[in-house]
Amino acid sequence: MNNTFNITRFLLLFKKHSIEHAKTYLLSFVVLLGMVFLVLGFNSYTDHGLINGKTQQLSFIFIMLIGGSIFTSMSFIELGDKKKAIPFLSLPASHFEKYLVAWLYSYAIFQVIFIGGFYVVDYIVIHLGTTPVEESDKQISIFAMDDKFSVCFVVYALFNGLTLWGAVFFEKIHFIKTAFIFFICLIILVILNNQLLNLFLGKGAEGSVPFGGAGFNEDTHFWRIYPDKSITQYSNYVMGLTALLLWVSAYFRLKEKEI
């Protein structure tokens, strides 16, 4: 029998995990849908029963990234308690299989369930508002989204990788510690990006993140330069590669865990 991965053993582990965490996951899903309803409902109420596509997109992105990160932070929660860590690590399944179960739930399954739940709540909120539904009040379609919207799935992969990494590396308050590291890295990235822009384009150039364009101030005038779409695509590759490295790093860190 393969010590790294065995389909029968993996399916049994997946079933065991699903049964043991069913109530927690169901409660988390209900809370998530409640958050979606509150955000969309508030926007609809403040806009006289209307909720445009841009608001739906921003709500989708914000809730998926934040809610998904919090959900992912519950992965490997057993490692933070020695009493729970012993049975978890001694379970007759490989570390890869345990990691794969956590990854599937936090990354793949979460997104599928969230998208379905968002569509249901979005439909309800829209039809609770204006009647009949106006042209500007229709549901968004994530399957016909533009490039700026689709990047949220790449960003979620990055957030998922970072949160899984934190869940394995830190035993206590790992979500807070991981968020702290994320914001520190983000600040450093923005500072370095501005320094490079000033170096290559001269003083007065400023930007937020790499591949995100640059702005220029000259007296009372302001200009903004946006990179070509083929250039901005590199940022997706960088985030995707970073997410992959974080997933791999989290797995090898989990392999080092001992009873």
Is residue 245 scored above 90 in pLDDT? Answer: yes
Residue 96 forms part of a structural domain:
yes
Residue 21 forms part of a structural domain:
yes
Please give the tally of structural domains in the chain: 1
What is the distance, to the nearest Å, from the Cα of residue 156 to the centroid of all Cα atoms in its chain? 3
Domain enclosing residue 131, as ranges: 7-255
Residue 246 forms part of a structural domain:
yes
Tokens of 16: 């065991």
Helices 147-169 and 229-255: crossing angle in degrees, nearest 10, is 20
User: What is the band of 144 on the pLDDT scale with cuts at 50, 70, 90?
Assistant: low
Residue 84 forms part of a structural domain:
yes
Compute the distance between CA of residue 138 and CA of residue 119 in angstroms, rounded to an integer: 11
Is residue 197 scored above 80 in pLDDT? Answer: no
Residue 2 forms part of a structural domain:
no
Nearest-Å Rg of the Cα atoms of the chain is 22
Q: Which phi and psi angles does 243 have, rounded to 5°?
A: -60, -45
Q: Of 239, 250, 97, which is closest to residue 178 (Cα–Cα)?
A: 250
Q: Which of 46-60, 101-115, 124-138, 183-197 shows the highest mean pLDDT?
A: 101-115
Residue 177, Cβ neighbours under 10 Å: how many? 14
The pTM score is 0.84
Compute the distance between CA of residue 97 and CA of residue 91 in angstroms, rounded to an integer: 11
The overall average pLDDT reported for the chain is: 83
Residue 1 forms part of a structural domain:
no
| Per-residue CA distances from 207 to 12, 60, 238 (Å) | 50, 26, 18
More confident residue, 226 or 74: 74
